[in-house]
Structure 1
Amino acid sequence: MATYIYLHGFASSPFSTKAQYLRDRFASLQINLNIPDLNHGDFSHLTLTRQLQQIEAEFSPDTSSFVVMGSSFGGLTAAWLAEKKFPIDRLILLAPAFNFSSEWFPKLGSEKLKQWKSEGYLSVYHYAEKQNLPLSYQFLEDLSQYPDEQLQRKIPTLILHGIQDEVIPIQASRNYAATRPWVKLIELNSDHSLDNVLGEIWQEIQGFLYSIL
């Protein structure tokens, strides 16, 4: 039996709508969905590297098979986790944050980016905490170590992305899938949240995992 892990998005939590919906759906199949809190008690010093280190600790040497799911920045984390040669059988990425540096940061504007660098922290709205929290500039610097082009491990991958995504344009997933024949991209009539297509997402996930469920 595979171990199932779900990685929530940036400024989110294990109690997000998608995380809880998928937890309940897998529970109906008597499967436990492990949803670690990637805020790790310190959102301000979040980095992709820290998330990867945290999740690596979830990998028991006694487990021979993993299915890793991730939403948005959690999806990007899942993709990099798979690149590290862990025994991951399937990847499921919901609106993954490919091209995150070129898509999200420019929206802040050059002046705000300069201010972030000089002051060391940027005020970011945290959806789970329902308040603004400071985020270290190290978050941006750390991402420079992770160019999407290096994600080349041939693991069966399902991407579900909304065509009206206002945070990570669907073209990022289209470009990613176009050069990786092991990736299946499903385009959905939704935005970045994907909250209005949860039933469709679950159907696609079940079909994708049919052989190992």
Structure 2
Amino acid sequence: MLQNIILLHGFASSGNSTKARFLRPKFEKYPNSSFHAFDFNPTPTDFEYMTVTGMINRLRQTIVDRQLENVSLIGSSMGALVGLNYAHRYGGIDRLLLMAPALSYFSGSREEEVARTLDPNQTELVQHYAFEQKIPLRAEMDIDGLLYRVPVPPPVPITIIHGRFDDVVPIAHSQKYAAQYPDHVNLIAVDADHPLHDQLDVMWQQVQQYLIGRGE
């Protein structure tokens, strides 16, 4: 039975992220597992019009078109928000491994208030790490984010790896989520900041034990 494991990258990243480059060769030793590094914004224009709902729909279309089954998702930062809400909305996902996850879109009422008053066509220049340039991002991203203000309940078993020193998405959000759903969420706290680039071996260990190992 072929396992399909899809990596969902974070905001302003790509399917060739540090985590993707680390994981891709690792899967060569596992013929019963197929690794996919999804790219939500293959062009600058895709990034400009990006929304969480759009990313969920793009993932849905890919899974349906490729007829992927036995799917587990690895979500990094905003990719975790996409993966969590995809699994909640559509099902068909076995497990989630979330890295420094954004479990909801907004962290405070001020951001929500601003989003409600934005013009959808308003743009802001954002540094995109993969394209190595600043790219406009439409305010529709924040407006759409109003739909994802509250974390959805765990639709499947979830393991979270989160850094104690994360100042982008504080670990407190993951701690609260794990405490709220102790039977469904396993939180692994590590001494790291948001990118978790020094915790790739920990990530791979969980991929082997939690995602690949269950199918062997």
Superposed counterparts of 1:60-75, under 5 Å: 60=64, 62-75=67-80
Identity of aligned residues (%): 33
Name the aligned partner's letter for residue 98 of structure 2.
Answer: L
Question: Is contact 1:48-1:142 (8 Å) kept?
Answer: yes
Segments of structure 2 that go 5 or more residues without pairing to the other structure are: none
* 1:120 maps onto 2:125 in alignment: no
- What secondary structure, in the 3-state scheme, does the structure 2 residue paired with 1:57 have? helix
Q: Give the alignment's Cα RMSD to 1 decimal.
A: 2.4
Q: Distance in 1 between matches of 2:59 and 2:116?
A: 31
Name the aligned partner's letter for residue 205 of structure 2.
Answer: Q
Q: How many angstroms does 1:139 deviate by?
A: 0.1
Question: Is contact 1:100-1:168 (8 Å) kept?
Answer: no
Q: How many angstroms does 1:117 deviate by?
A: 4.7
How many aligned residue pairs are there? Answer: 207
Structure 1: 4+ residue segments shifted above 2 A: 60-64, 112-119
Q: How many angstroms does 1:113 deviate by?
A: 7.6
Question: Is contact 1:27-1:33 (8 Å) kept?
Answer: no
Question: Is contact 2:3-2:34 (8 Å) kept?
Answer: no
Q: Distance in 2 between matches of 1:66 and 1:118?
A: 34
Per-residue CA deviations over 1:157-185 (Å, capped at 9, x if unaligned) read 11111111121011111111111120111
- What secondary structure, in the 3-state scheme, does the structure 1 residue paired with 2:94 have? strand
Q: Distance in 1 between matches of 2:87 and 2:121?
A: 34
Q: Distance in 1 between matches of 2:126 and 2:118?
A: 11
- What secondary structure, in the 3-state scheme, does the structure 2 residue paired with 1:143 have? helix
* 1:92 maps onto 2:69 in alignment: no
Q: How many angstroms does 1:198 deviate by?
A: 0.7
Q: How many angstroms does 1:145 deviate by?
A: 1.0
Q: How many angstroms does 1:101 deviate by?
A: 1.4
Q: How many angstroms does 1:60 deviate by?
A: 3.5
Q: Distance in 1 between matches of 2:9 and 2:160?
A: 15
Q: Distance in 1 between matches of 2:204 and 2:120?
A: 44
2:27 is aligned to: 26
Q: Distance in 2 between matches of 1:115 and 1:125?
A: 24
Q: How many angstroms does 1:59 deviate by?
A: 1.8
25-34 or 15-24, which deviates more: 25-34
1:15 is aligned to: 16
125-134 or 203-212, which deviates more: 203-212
Task: Quickly say closer, same or farther: Cα 1:49–1:114, change in 2 above 3 A.
Answer: closer
Segments of structure 1 that go 5 or more residues without pairing to the other structure are: none
Name the aligned partner's letter for residue 123 of structure 1.
Answer: L
Per-residue CA deviations over 1:81-136 (Å, capped at 9, x if unaligned) read 11023211111111111243126x85xxx9x9899759700111111111111110
- What secondary structure, in the 3-state scheme, does the structure 2 residue paired with 1:203 have? helix
Q: Distance in 1 between matches of 2:19 and 2:141?
A: 24
Q: How many angstroms does 1:35 deviate by?
A: 1.4
1:187 is aligned to: 189
Q: How many angstroms does 1:25 deviate by?
A: 1.7
Q: Distance in 1 between matches of 2:134 and 2:69?
A: 40
